[in-house]
Structure 1
């Protein structure tokens, strides 16, 4: 993510844990990259679950984030062995939960000079014969910077908040819609590489989908949602607040105020510094980023201490569950109710 020079130091927006156990399988080398959950690792929601406020389960969120932010993944730098492990983990989760690859495989590959990067793209087709032709994208970046300034012998920039947290949220919503099949519109679940190199992964995917003449309705990018805001603030905020009616519509769908306005977002031009921007730029549709990081509640941007033990899993679980009716309302609205404010 691009950095802004503020008061003599770099800050950026949206821009620790023990290693997971990997079971070695010499017959299928890719399987060696996937942590093997046991019954005690992951809890599945009851098939009878109807209360969306309790759909996502803390232990599942914790399990996924601890692996993605583990030292084993070496900071998930694009082109590294660590990001390959992260990609396989996400693909495995998608496959286990019947989330289909959007392309021939889950990977949307691209080149940055000699580096090969790949976005991970799964989808769930809409259940309405007409609305399924309209697309909603939910995204986050799963890459990070690899290493950072050494502190007490640690150089791994684990990227728990930035942006394993958003990645896990997108994975949880993918599982929800795969299980409930409640989406009238088709939903793409997109995890981007090379965000830290200047939004290269999301930029590639946006142009590719634009060339396919996709009827893209809305796009939301989730960035750094691992820590809570102050009790006096709304749970999250949205960038480009004044550009569309998305904030008001999401809150109406959720039947509570979840996302609001952050003054610094406009002052720091944050709308253009996260993976929503390439989709807005290509399609000129409501495409925003949502975050709970607000420059006051997390000190470890691009730092070796951006680790899983700094995340608030109760907050993450609550946010993911509270967003379900908001997302469902957007995905299932009978018409394109979310519009740019200049329309």
Structure 2
């Protein structure tokens, strides 16, 4: 082969190889991608608004609840989380009053697994007013349950950026929980009637302050009903979820928004909480204020929880199951 021709061929091959390398698409986002962690300041902004005096305790049918709903809708829009229904609102009546759940949606990326749904929920309503203390009658509901609401919003933001969930996820802020789980009951019935395939439901309730003298960060209601606690701990790589005897004693499994979903779908539907009856004195109290929240802890809790939900949304099989 002539020397000049050889040099030309080598040059052409080098150029083609370089162009091929440049043209390669970026690798798809994997479930191991690490995002910038949720900051405590972000949590403080969310709870600070939802539990502000301006919202008057977020009672069902109140102007304050409407302000909270609009805030949540704007957060979803900002994150790029779509409404599940025609709008974000799932409207129903509670004790004769029209109210709503706020429902965001991120469709799964897998053509098969996208038909399976994970529901992440927390109620955003509260009781409005309480017994007067030093002239204050507004039951702000910071721990109950602006804190849990901040977890759902933060996870919606994370998953909207990750775009890696093979299963579909609903991010639900329930209304009328304080009226008897009416918002979750309505949505569970609605999804059941649509033949929605629910894999699991994880509810967040009162996560504003850490547990005391416990080896785990949070407990789960209905601990022995499924392997959810075990699998979450496996996914996180630490003893994140534990068993709280008082949760069983007080039948907390049946007292939060997980319960209507369990009743309808008979799949693992449980609530994660850090309120253990000894570490917070302001349940349904006017002093349940934003200033009482431990924002560093809440942010740490959410950041620890995200990898577990990511794994839950991406396993090939349904690894979380009811116990027989």
Q: TM-score, normalised by structure 1?
A: 0.84
Tell me which residue corresponds to 2:260: 278
Tell me which residue corresponds to 1:303: 285
CA shift for structure 1 position 232 = 3.5
Tell me which residue corresponds to 2:319: 337
CA shift for structure 1 position 112 = 2.1
Q: Distance in 2 between matches of 1:243 and 1:218?
A: 13
Tell me which residue corresponds to 2:300: 318
Q: Distance in 2 between matches of 1:304 and 1:186?
A: 38
Over the residues paired in the alignment, what is the CA RMSD in angstroms?
1.1
Q: Secondary structure at the match of 2:224?
A: coil
Q: Secondary structure at the match of 2:172?
A: strand
Q: Distance in 2 between matches of 1:210 and 1:50?
A: 33
Q: Secondary structure at the match of 1:189?
A: strand
- Moved runs in structure 1, 4+ residues, more than 6 A? none
Is the 2:202–2:272 contact (alpha carbons within 8 Å) kept by the matching residues of 1? yes
- How many positions carry a matched residue from both structures? 293
Unpaired segments ≥5 residues, structure 1: 1-48
Among 45, 57, 79, the residue aligned to 1:63: 45
Q: What's the CA shift string for 1:240-281, capped at 9, x where partnerless?
A: 000001110011011111011000111111100000000000
Q: Secondary structure at the match of 1:332?
A: coil
Among 86, 89, 109, the residue aligned to 1:127: 109
Q: What's the CA shift string for 1:64-121, capped at 9, x where partnerless?
A: 1100000000000010000000000000000111100000000000012431110000
Q: Distance in 1 between matches of 2:263 and 2:297?
A: 32
Q: What's the CA shift string for 1:41-70, capped at 9, x where partnerless?
A: xxxxxxxx9545x51111111111100000
Q: What's the CA shift string for 1:19-47, capped at 9, x where partnerless?
A: xxxxxxxxxxxxxxxxxxxxxxxxxxxxx
Q: Distance in 2 between matches of 1:148 and 1:232?
A: 31
Q: Distance in 2 between matches of 1:231 and 1:267?
A: 19
Residue 235 of structure 2 corresponds to residue 256 of structure 1: no
Among 78, 99, 104, the residue aligned to 2:81: 99
Residue 271 of structure 2 corresponds to residue 289 of structure 1: yes
CA shift for structure 1 position 233 = 3.2
Tell me which residue corresponds to 2:20: none
Tell me which residue corresponds to 2:209: 227
Tell me which residue corresponds to 1:39: none
Q: Distance in 1 between matches of 2:197 and 2:180?
A: 25
Tell me which residue corresponds to 1:16: none
Say if 1:50 and 1:131 are closer, same or farther in 2 by CA, change over 3 A: closer
Is the 2:215–2:239 contact (alpha carbons within 8 Å) kept by the matching residues of 1? no
Q: Secondary structure at the match of 1:89?
A: helix
- Larger helix percent: 2
Is the 2:130–2:138 contact (alpha carbons within 8 Å) kept by the matching residues of 1? yes
Is the 2:33–2:162 contact (alpha carbons within 8 Å) kept by the matching residues of 1? no
Q: What's the CA shift string for 1:152-184, capped at 9, x where partnerless?
A: 110000000000000010000000000110211
Unpaired segments ≥5 residues, structure 2: 1-31
Tell me which residue corresponds to 1:117: 99
Q: Distance in 2 between matches of 1:75 and 1:113?
A: 18
